[in-house]
Chains A and B, each alone.
Chain A
């Protein structure tokens, strides 16, 4: 038998646990519909894909043959996959760096500018509203060798020697995709950085200014470190989005010329649907999934370390 005080405490603890349990059940009720749908439409197909990656299924017949690790062995030895992986990494690295630099620059501009603030915000944000397909068509038209605006402007200003087949030259095709994707994506990350900038107390910059810090020093030692939270979010989001890039490539280059702009997501679609090798395509998707998982975990761990609380 315990003392009355301890009995009361035990009763209170039991009541508290009961309440917590009820609250948990209550929360579960709310998430149940989403959980069921998510399980049905995401988890179950994903688990099904794991199985398909070990088969030679062509995607249309009922004949699904288990072939063990053959797809993964082929991935390991395939020069086409190696090329797609290389393209994916080039594209991802370039997009993560350029999109974030452009987004921070635009956020700083719209944060500081006194005039036409809303106009700048709208102009910078507008491209993000376009779908990748629409954006791809627009840029494909601009960059078209024979009828494109860019080459016509170059010719009109007497720089006809600089006209290029921007999307047909392997050297420039990837660059064209990178720059057009930065144009489309940077506005989205600008909003996140802008929110971050507006959360930084102005007193810090003012104090630094009084101490003699110039604009660059204020950015380097105050603004940028305090944007670390936004940076983590934007870097992870832009990295995932870059690894999954598809629409622009499908519309602008179809992975070409040759295989010059073929990425992992594009090759997954091409082999899975166009080349009737669903099993192999699914195995590639599994590889991409693991790749995104590893890179994201590493990226978050590194970036989290440098986040500053104030």
Chain B
């Protein structure tokens, strides 16, 4: 403290001098100007950056007439990401006057979060893979699919009487992807024809010393695979309008059919699923399956590519899990999802024209076949698309073509009157995780779920 006081005394006389007084006046004026200039420059530069960022998205006003648009899609599946990136590259090589900026640096588990964040910062993609179509359509963020593109598809789903998407693929069935070696080792020669036989298969695998099922429960969307299998068997296969009835309080999650579905889910997870399921991400499930740590994975056809990449020599099969009566019900109805044009992009005719050109290119049979082959997808176009499929994919195609197989949708993929509150899906899956971990009573949990659903409907109506 002493040192500081002395220093202060030494400094004071300097400030008291007339010279300094005059200098101070001058300095004050000059610094006022400098500071104001600096502030203005900073603010203007901040505004300028935003402006240039906006302009860079619409390069059509330049002298070179190059049109630029941004693209965003769920990039969690590496195969799908590469397939789209390759198509974009082929398109821009064939159309050098069009530039496509790929914004997709997300994982599919957080796609909605990512999309909303992009919207919040003013970077909503011009061409976007849309999954929550109704929500974004209601918010005015996307526009109807241009009529010129409608002829590409066979009766695409409509929301409020309008088509909003160019469907990337049709919904494909989910089922058991199993290790043939594990089945052979456990003496399983025949695939199950009822759910009870399926449980007997799990017992045999367990007795053989291998974990029957791997589940990527850390990624909340992965929870939906099993949950929706049971919901479809016990609820949606009989009543596709169950969601709208729930919204109108005509049915309840505590009804016997839902409780039965969730009891099956709970028992399966308690007895046959890998112990680390809650911390296993979806992208580790293929490794766990091919490494022989688990015998089966319940997932969709897109996993075939990942499994083959993880171990090209791994022998696997695929089948849909039947219900107790031996009936097969799978995800397979079309749903409103796919490429959508943003409302902002639609205001710029040059940009819209470029996007339409890209969509046509994407669905050209030669191009589209490469995309479908990469992800083992089912074509959504009118025109026939042919690509080589493996044995497992053939099973999926047979399921889709079999009129005796009931096609349905996951709880969150319905639309219109059957649209559930957007916040419900993740909450519901997490609640089901909690139910298994806490060994909770299914009926009690379903009453809580029912109450929460009603609360969310009420909250969204405000």
Contact = CB atoms under 8 A, between A and B. Distances in A.
18 contacts: A22-B25, A56-B462, A58-B135, A60-B141, A65-B462, A67-B462, A70-B459, A74-B455, A145-B275, A167-B279, A253-B218, A256-B433, A257-B433, A259-B430, A273-B116, A274-B112, A274-B423, A276-B116
B136 A60 contact: yes
Contact of A22 (B28, B275, B435): B28
Interface in B252-289: 274-280, 284, 287-288
Contact of A70 (B24, B113, B116, B462): B462
Given A58-B135, A145-B275, A275-B427, A257 B434 contact: yes
A257 B117 CA distance: 25
Q: Which interface residue of A63, A144, A254, A271 has the most chain B CB atoms within 10 A? A: A254
B31 A61 contact: no
A229 interface: no
B185 interface: no
Contact of B426 (A30, A58, A274): A274
Interface in A238-267: 253-260
Interface string B130-149: 00000110111100000000
Given A145-B279, A275-B422, A170 B36 contact: no
Contact of B276 (A144, A275, A277): A144
Interface string B439-462: 000000000000000010001101
A167 B31 CA distance: 56
Nearest to A280: B459
A273 B278 contact: no
Interface of A: 19, 22, 25-26, 29-30, 32-33, 36-37, 40, 56, 58-63, 65, 67, 70, 74, 80, 140, 143-147, 165-170, 253-260, 269-271, 273-277, 280
A29 B31 contact: yes
Contacts of A80: 427
B278 A274 contact: no
Contacts of B288: 146
Interface residues of B, number: 58
Given A33-B39, A168-B217, A256 B140 contact: no
Summarize A's interface: helix, strand, loop or mixed: loop
Contacts of A255: 430
A256 B218 contact: yes
Contacts of B15: 19
B398 to A, nearest CB: 33
A255 to B, nearest CB: 8
Contact of A36 (B25, B39, B218, B422): B39
B119 interface: yes
Given A32-B36, A32-B39, A256-B278, A60 B430 contact: no
A233 B142 CA distance: 50
Contacts of B274: 145-146
A277 B112 CA distance: 13
A146 B219 CA distance: 16
B42 interface: yes
A281 to B, nearest CB: 10
Contact of B423 (A19, A36, A170, A276): A276
Contact of B430 (A40, A56, A67, A256): A256
A165 B279 contact: yes
B32 interface: yes
A166 B462 contact: no
B447 to A, nearest CB: 13
B204 interface: no
